[in-house]
Structure 1
Amino acid sequence: MVEKITSYLKKYFSNGPKFIFMSVSIILIALTVLIFSTRKTITVSVDGQDKQITTFSRTYKKALSNNNIVVGPKDKTTPSLDSRVEEGKKISIKRAVKVHVEADGKQVTIESAEQNVEKMLQAEGIGLQDFDKVYPAKDLAIKDGLKVVITRVETKEVKENKKIDYTTVVKKDDEMEQGKNKVIQEGQLGEKETVTKVIYENGKEVSRKVITEIIKKQPVQKVVAMGTLSTYTPSRGGKVAYTKSMRMRATAYTADYESTGKSPGNAGFGITATGTVAKRNSNSYSSIAVDPRVIPLGTKLYVDGYGYAVAEDTGGAIKGNKIDLFFNSSSEADNWGVRWVNVYVVK
């Protein structure tokens, strides 16, 4: 610029003192203008603290360096350091702070000048999946010494086929001796398909929940018959199956006149109330008289000490908890006398 001015002066003015004076004056003016045109005053804000500096530098990077203002590699500036310096403008510097990050089984300390936790993680290339947990909150402003913990959350759906246990139903069977049982129907396992949502945090299972369940095969219940029939073993041997037992007063009678008021030749002689011929059969069922209100006629019984009997007859004196046992002869009836016996209703 100065050379152009000098060349211009030589062209229009002759050499001499006048020329020299004018040349020097113009050069000084030009230098003064140049200096003032490149001199700029700017504001530098460091973490909110402002100060003004004067600079002749073209970029903020050079201006800060010339004023011994160091910008760290993780510090953030607005505008950028490579921006052109403009008179009266402001450059803001946010100093990076140390943040401790725990993620993926590692603990690292990083420097960051980002606005909050989320932007810090993004800047450091620490990715987050949809369900990952971040503590503290992602919108929290970072500060020196802050600890950030990232919990990796993974969700899986597990499909399984499972067996369904069958139930066992017990049915009473009064045709079967007590203490015995019989399988009427075998049980069969069912099958179901379940889908379970399993949640893992940092690789460890923390919860599981069944979200769908489809029955593919219904179970078949097992049916067992359980005997309810009681048994009695007489002293003479054998086994008597019965449904009910009673303690009764037992007398004895025959077909003769003393017992029935009828004599041989009488149409009703030896005939029971049910129309059968009274009998005594030690190897089978004998006839006995009962109170039908207590023991229905036709009921088969076992009388302890007497044997098997059937309720075929009635009697005027046989009321309530009494029975009258038939014998073929008066001597047998007299020998029996009157006894308290156990009477079993035979099945």
Structure 2
Amino acid sequence: MKNLFSILSRKRRLTVFIASFIVFVASTGGILYETTKKTIVFTIDGHEKVIKTHKETVQGIFDDQNISLRSEDYVFPAVNTRVKNNLKIVWKPAKQVQLVTDGEKKTVWTTATTVAQLLKEQKVALKEQDKVYPRPAVKIKSKLKVTVKSAFPLTLVDGGVEHQVWSTSTTVADFLVQQGITLNQLDRVDPKPEDPVKENGVINVIRVEKVTDVVEEPVEFAVVTKQDNNLTQGTETVVTEGQKGLLQKTYEVVLENGKEVVRNLLNETKLKEKQDKVVAVGTMTFAQQVSRGAASGQEIYVSSTAYTASCNGCSGTTATGINLRVNPNVKVIAVDPNIIPLGTKVYVDGYGYAVAADTGSAIKGYKIDVFFPSKSDAFRWGNKKVKIRIL
């Protein structure tokens, strides 16, 4: 019985020893396995992490991390590079981006960090005036849509003032908004707002306004003639002087770019009535002027002098209305109507046939003044006694 217990005790000790040995070997192997791993710094899309690995190549590390690579991805160093301790691996996964350039769409894979880098990568050259959405500094993310609108030159005429500008607009309305131009109620634009914008085109903004203009205009008077048989034929005298009227007119004026294009009369008001000029026109002939008080055929002797239409104190118009300046060849004598009535036809020796058609302050009694058109003729006549025959 004692031997039996001794045998069992030895078996237990052997079992414990073997188990302990196995644990020791396993622990030592595990420690040895971990200590032989290489340390790698793995940068994934800008984020660093440290990993330990027994993989022999960079590709093996990606496989170990369950990462599937695309041909467009950026990997450094190359996937066939052998792994060594403290190796730095950089991986930038390519992102899918939609690039729209002047309406032309294409899908690209890129490892660019920003929109600006993407455009450079795609060889899209930008002018200062071009528009890019989103802004060039925006970071690239998957499914991002990048739009490029190339600017083109245009001529803008605003209110008659010309400007050379650049635009990325598709319609005239969009162009006006882009340029910060506001149309007032009456303004118009050519081409129409819905029309497309074309390179090197001309956009003409016509500024239209309506204003009220009040003006005063003179109204010309008419000249009215009336026949007067008390005046010698061919003579005229003003009965009533004419006066201009005054009319106030209110206009609606349409201006385009500051220049008048339409003027419409709204109303008019008479401020002053016009007064027509009335002129009496003589119709009496010399035959009608012969006085009925003088005896036909009578001869008398009188003192005579001579005068002209421009002598001192002379008006140029006779007492009977004959305009001597207008009728310089008329034969007229000035008389004392108490001796020879006005209108009497006479014959004056040395002067000829004449009409008694004028008077004078110095012509009293048997004295006459003979009319001549020039001073030289009047001086030659002088002062002399002549015979007059009443006709």
Question: TM-score, with normalisation over the residues of structure 2?
Answer: 0.45
Structure showing greater radius of gyration is 2
Flag the structure with more relative contact order, 1 or 2, with Cα contacts below 8 A and sequence separation at least 6.
1
Question: TM-score, with normalisation over the residues of structure 1?
Answer: 0.50
